Amino acid sequence: MLSAKMEDYLKAIYELQRESDEPVATSRIADLLDVTAPTATSMMESLAERGLVEREKYKGVRLTPEGETVALEVVRHHRLLETYLTEELGYDWAEVHDEADRLEHHISEEFERRVAEMLDDPAVDPHGDPIPTDALDPVDETAGTTLVEATEGDRLVVQRVSDRDPEELAYLDEAGIVPGTELVVEEVAPIGVVSVALADGEGTVSIPDAVARTIFVDATDGSTGSATEAA
Amino acid sequence: MLSAKMEDYLKAIYELQRESDEPVATSRIADLLDVTAPTATSMMESLAERGLVEREKYKGVRLTPEGETVALEVVRHHRLLETYLTEELGYDWAEVHDEADRLEHHISEEFERRVAEMLDDPAVDPHGDPIPTDALDPVDETAGTTLVEATEGDRLVVQRVSDRDPEELAYLDEAGIVPGTELVVEEVAPIGVVSVALADGEGTVSIPDAVARTIFVDATDGSTGSATEAA
DNA sequence: CTTAAGCATTAGATTCGTCTAATCCCACTC
DNA sequence: GAGTGGGATTAGACGAATCTAATGCTTAAG
Ligand SMILES: [Mn+2]
Ligand SMILES: [Mn+2]
Ligand SMILES: [Mn+2]
Ligand SMILES: [Mn+2]
């Protein structure tokens, strides 16, 4: 019923929407999907006509409940596929995003069901992203804080990292920073870099803000707790 | 580079081409893909322009070597996927065709490689269809004879059945007729039905010509050998 | 209150895959 | 060697998704 393209736009809006409460601007969508602004505008008109987004001209769009359901379905496919490719087909977690990004639009509900079953209904994907349930209930995508918001001395556990950039993922993997890794914040330098020590004694890693912003962390027991406050 | 649609047309031509040496008629392609004749004509023009088919107006088309390579790649994807879905995801062999028919256009070469490896480079899919090798060497799709060409008393082994019709597959499965099944031809009725007895004593099955034409068989040792002669 | 910069939208065009309606070939029948 | 029936092609149009170029809002600065 919906084209793969429309699904892509809805997923993009879903992802942008979790960055703030503002309506999502046309240009952000165009950027993310690598199309021109007029293209995004005209797609927003179609989506609005179908009741999948609410649109205020010159302001931006927001997913309607129906639009969010479609987005959640696509996101569920994406994250289940990433998990499946990693667990069952031996993909590296850095490689799975593009494959999942194509297949997410073409698998059947039957395929989704069987994969979920084989993986025993996983709650998170290899990057720590939460997998929407079969019922497509809204998911809290903003749980936790990001590493840029941490302060020196914080003891943290990595919860999730962005799955977008394979190079970044490969680097983090190499450095030993994956969901579940415990680390201590050594320095938050004012020039835009955060240095963390791996809790298992594997050394120190310096992470630029742009990357730190995509790493979600939780305080471990015994922390100051500052990591749970917003910046 | 090539659209999924173009791949579909090339695969369709590949499949029709193995039914005879004649060029493939536009109307056959249109029928198979469920489009109108002008649509098929115009796609044939595009494919000819790209050097993927050789076209003689009002006669039909034939795959060029390049076109055949593309078709073989798609067919390899299709049959590997069918095998994978059956072996690893627990699909029934009657259900896999449609899923494979969509995914075949969207998996990466990496996915293909990993699936082939996991399955240990299978030579045939669940329906007995030969899987083209990684090198995409031409495959003999017409090996063996079909059940309509059999004569009474022939002892045969089922080699392959068409994967197109899930109902037919479910029926044959139910009846115990799968690749590897041994059977004896009891009667070839002039009204267009073939009756066969299952060699393992599981009774007799009557198969209409239309279906028998899609079941490929080989003679077992001790047969009259007539099944290996063309009709 | 005015203006200009910076987004966003409108206008108009293109490509792909598809359709219906009209026309055209070709091969077979007489 | 016509004539005709049936399949194939041409003609013309359309929706989806995209682009470039032109125009239009909004807003923040003055
Ligand atoms: Mn996608
Ligand atoms: Mn992910
Ligand atoms: Mn297909
Ligand atoms: Mn098959």
Query: Chain B residue closest to A90 (CA)?
Result: B114
pLDDT at position A229, please?
39
How much is the mean pLDDT over chain B?
92
Which element (helix H / strand E) includes B198? strand B193-198
Residue B99 has a pLDDT of 97
Q: What is the structure's pLDDT at B10?
A: 98
Please give the residue that has the higher pLDDT: either B79 or B231: B79
Q: What is the pLDDT of residue B222?
A: 55
* pLDDT higher than 80, residue B212: yes
Instruction: Give chain A's end-to-end CA distance (angstroms, integer).
Output: 42
Residue B51, amino acid:
G
pLDDT band at B225 (very low <50, low <70, confident <90, very high): very low
Per-residue model confidence (pLDDT) at position A169: 93
Report the residue from B89, B106, B110 with minimal CB separation from A103.
Answer: B106
Determine whether the interchain pair B99/A108 forms a contact, defined as Cβ–Cβ distance below 8 Å: yes
pLDDT at A222 (0 to 100): 55
Residue A130 pairs in a beta bridge with A124
**pLDDT above 90: residue B33:** yes
Structure tokens at B1: 């580079």
Chain A 22-51 residues in 7 Å CB range of strand D: 34-36, 38-39, 42-43, 46
- In a mutational test of the A interface, the residue from B105, B110, B112 whose CB has the highest number of chain A CBs within 10 Å is B110
Tell me what pLDDT residue B227 has. Answer: 40
DSSP states along A129-197: PBPPPTT-----TT-SEEGGG--TT-EEEEEE--SS-HHHHHHHHHHT--TT-EEEEEEEETTTEEEEE
**For chain B, what percentages of helix, strand and coil (3-state, to nearest 5) are there?**
40, 20, 40
CB A130 within 8 Å of CB A75: no
CB B63 within 8 A of CB B17: yes
pLDDT at A223: 44
Q: What is the pLDDT of residues B36-71, one digit of tens each?
A: 999 999 999 999 999 999 999 999 999 999 999 999
| Confidence (pLDDT) at B117 | 97
- Which residues of chain B have a Cβ shorter than 8 Å from any chain A Cβ? 85, 88-91, 95, 98-99, 102-103, 105-108, 110-111, 114-115, 118
Phi/psi at A208 (5° precision):
-65, 150
Residue B230, pLDDT score: 36
Q: How far is the CA of B105 from the centre of ligand 3 (A)?
A: 7
Residues of B in contact with A105 (CB under 8 A): 106
Longest dimension (CA), chain A: 56
Rounded distance between C-alpha atoms, residue A153 and residue A183, angstroms: 10
**What average pLDDT does range B192-210 have in this prediction?**
88
Partner-chain residue, chosen from A90, A98, A118, that has the shortest CB–CB distance to B114? A90
Q: Do A103 and B103 touch (CB under 8 A)?
A: yes
Would you say A92 and A127 are in contact if contact means Cβ atoms under 8 Å apart?
no
Residues 6+ apart with CB under 8 A from A160: A124, A127, A128, A129, A144, A179, A215, A216
Residue B203, CB half-sphere, CA atoms under 13 Å: how many? 6
Rounded to an integer, what distance in angstroms lies between the CA atom of residue A5 and that of residue A151?
A: 41
Residue ranges of chain A with pLDDT lower than 70?
221-231
What pLDDT was estimated at residue B92?
92
C-alpha dihedral sign at B158, B159, B165, B167: positive
Answer whether B88 sits within 8 Å of A88, measured CB to CB: yes
Q: Which residues contact A201 (CB under 8 A, 6 or more apart)?
A: none
Q: Supply A146's token pair.
A: 């990001």
How do residues A147-165 score in pLDDT, each as one tens digit? Answer: 999 999 999 999 999 988 8
What is the tens place of the pLDDT at every residue in B116-164?
A: 999 999 999 999 999 999 999 999 988 788 999 899 989 999 999 998 8
